[in-house]
Amino acid sequence: MLYAILCYDSEDVVGSWTKEEDDAVMAKLAVVQQKLAAEGRLGPVARLLPTTAATTIRKGREPLVIDGPFAETKEQLLGFYVVDCSTLDEAIETARDLARASSSAGAFEIRPIAIFKPGSGQGSDRA
Amino acid sequence: MTDLAWINAALTSARPQALGALLRYFRDLDTAEEAFQDACLRALKTWPKNGPPRDPTAWLIFVGRNAAIDAVRRRGKQEALPADELVSDLDDAEAALVERLDGADYRDDVLRLLFICCHPELPATQQIALALRIVSGLSVKQIARAFLVSESAMEQRITRAKSRIAGADVPFEAPDAVERAERLAAVAAMVYLIFNEGYSAIGGAVPMRAPLCDEAIRLARLLLRLFQGEPEIMGLTALLLLQHARAPARLDADGCIVLLEDQDRSLWDRKMIAEGLALIDKAMRHKRRGPYQVQAAIAALHARAAQPEDTDWAQIDLLYAALETLQPSPVVTLNRAVAVAKVRGPAAALAMIEPLAPRLSGYFHFFGAKGAFLLQLGRAAEARIAFDRAIALANTAAEAAHIRLHLDRLIKDSAIKGGTLGDDLQASS
């Protein structure tokens, strides 16, 4: 089964990391990703730009365009992984590996995926 | 990341908000700073043991406020401090505090803290030093290094700035909409100053001054989070990101300036560019043009050009024309001339900058650009005079070395007919 592992953390805190600290966390996470990729379990991975870059469309008869994220929260959605796991325990174990690689105070939300379309044409080097 | 590194990052990120709130309670900068310091010490003691609180900022405000009140009482009655275990068990109190402090309070707290630093009575260098000390929480040593002065000189500068604002009127009432907009504009200008202080000091000192650029970007993002719908704050943040993205390519291995045209664009920071472009796109939707947005739009055109030849100079010319209307200045016109040289040739550019001579007679970039235009027109002797003048006015060794390269080439090939030297300004702006 496919699971989305959603990464929540305070973007204030993550934004206070020096480049070296940020690089170090990314390198540790890359090790976990490589292991998942070698097992053929790693789907798309994304790191999102800060919520200040977000725009929200509030649906309605006249959809409303709002600057900023959908909700003001203490911790923000900063990125996500899609991982193939045979059981919930395996998904939790994977999230644990990711948590060990980035020991900040955030959280990983594990959400089983109902419909998954890998899509096409999204070049991995496009930012 | 170690526990300690995480706690430090949490304290740094909480600082503007927590200190701003404590300043509102105590209406005295020194007391607020002491209270925050106290709260940080307690955090370092209790967080590794009990884990980080759910809302570190609220925790620091609450603990800092209690610590300062205790300190006042202690001075009066020699009363014992409450045990740390009692202070750290804050779950209910913390939740209640978060409820009470609504978003508008938080926003004005941070804005006030920044606004105090850009008090009109303070010279720009003191404003910047004060903001870095108070809002960013950099140590005096770090700030001194960034300004290339001794620690004691910086200590003095900050003390002097603090005593100056201590006597000034600090606005503690919540501002109305007009006041808030005015404060925001003053604070945005200061953030831009901090950035320029780090950015313009190109040359041997770059690694030491780069933290100023990082701090300015952090402050701009902070402002933008507080004022999500302000297109000029989006523009400011975008401008800083797009300029800073080019930093890795601006100097060669010998510390010489690399022209925008000659920069290795693969060294540009793509993540910063992506964020900058996203923000300028958002800002443009508001159709409320301002100087930061226009400058960011110019930087965006450079960032979007995969090759220097792809640069849309005609559009850059138009944007500088818009900037001339919004914010008339000889330096803006000078920058526009560089685009004009690309679009309409060096003669038009030279005609554009000649009237600026009286006002820019002490400006390095004026003579650098003038020399380059003259050179392109084949007027080598006059170009040489302009370049000589530029060297005499250079602010850094790298600037002088860069012009000297042109001069050396001129001497070697006195019959030079053309050249592509029009980017001097763009490269350093």
Given A13, A16, A52, which is nearest B224 (Cβ)? A52
Closest alpha carbon within chain A to B57: A74
Q: What is the pLDDT of residues A64-83, one digit of tens each?
A: 999 999 988 888 999 999 99
Terminal CA-to-CA distance of chain B, rounded, Å?
36
As a 3-state breakdown, chain B gives helix, strand, coil percent values, each rounded to 5, of: 75, 0, 25
A125 vs B294, residue with greater confidence? B294
Mean per-residue pLDDT, B313-329: 96
Local structure of B353: helix, strand or coil: helix
- CB burial class (10 A; 0-12, 13-18, 19+) of residue B330? middle
Residue B136, beta-bridge partner list: none
Cα separation, B147 vs B141, in Å, equals: 10
Residue B208 in this model has a pLDDT that exceeds 60: no
Instruction: Check CB contact of B2 with chain A, cutoff 8 Å.
Output: yes
**How far B126 CA lies from chain A's nearest CA (Å)?**
24
Question: Which residue in A has a C-alpha nearest to residue B55's C-alpha?
Answer: A74
Q: Residue A116: what pLDDT?
A: 93
CATH number of the domain at B3-101, out of 1.10.1740, 1.20.140, 1.10.405, 1.10.10? 1.10.1740
Contact B183, B175 (CB under 8 A): yes
**In this complex, is the C-beta atom of B218 within 8 Å of any C-beta atom belonging to chain A?**
yes
Q: What is the pLDDT of residue B427?
A: 41
Chain-centroid distance of CA A79 in Å reads: 2
Distance from C-alpha of B306 to C-alpha of B314, rounded to nearest angstrom: 17
Contact B6 A53 (CB under 8 A): no
Q: Which residue has the higher pLDDT, B295 or A105?
A: B295
In this complex, do B1 and A67 lie within 8 Å of one another by their Cβ atoms? no
Selection from B212, B190, B186 nearest residue B200 by Cα: B212
ipTM of the complex: 0.85
Crossing angle of helices B29-50 and B3-26, rounded to 10°: 150
Yes or no: say if B292 and B232 are a contact pair by the CB < 8 Å rule. Answer: yes
Contacts of B94 in chain A (CB under 8 A): none
Euclidean distance between CA atoms B103 and A38, whole angstroms: 46
Chain A within 8 Å of B225 (Cβ-Cβ)? Answer: yes
Q: Which domains does chain A have, with CATH numbers?
A: 2-112 (3.30.70.1060)
Residue A97 has pLDDT above 90, yes or no: yes
Residues of B in contact with A103 (CB under 8 A): 1-3, 6
8 Å CB contact of B10 and A13: yes
Amino acid identity, position A7: C
The whole model's pTM is what?
0.85
The Cα B184–Cα B176 span in angstroms is: 12
Region B312-318: what's the mean pLDDT? 97
* pLDDT, mean of residues B87-107: 56
Q: How many A×B Cβ pairs under 8 Å?
A: 71
Q: In chain B, whose CA is at the least distance from the CA of A51?
A: B225
Q: What percent of chain A has pLDDT over 90?
A: 67
Average pLDDT in the B257-285 region?
Answer: 93
**B59 touches B43 (CB < 8 A):** yes
CB contact under 8 A, A17 and B9: yes
Distance from CA of A79 to the nearest CA of B (A): 14
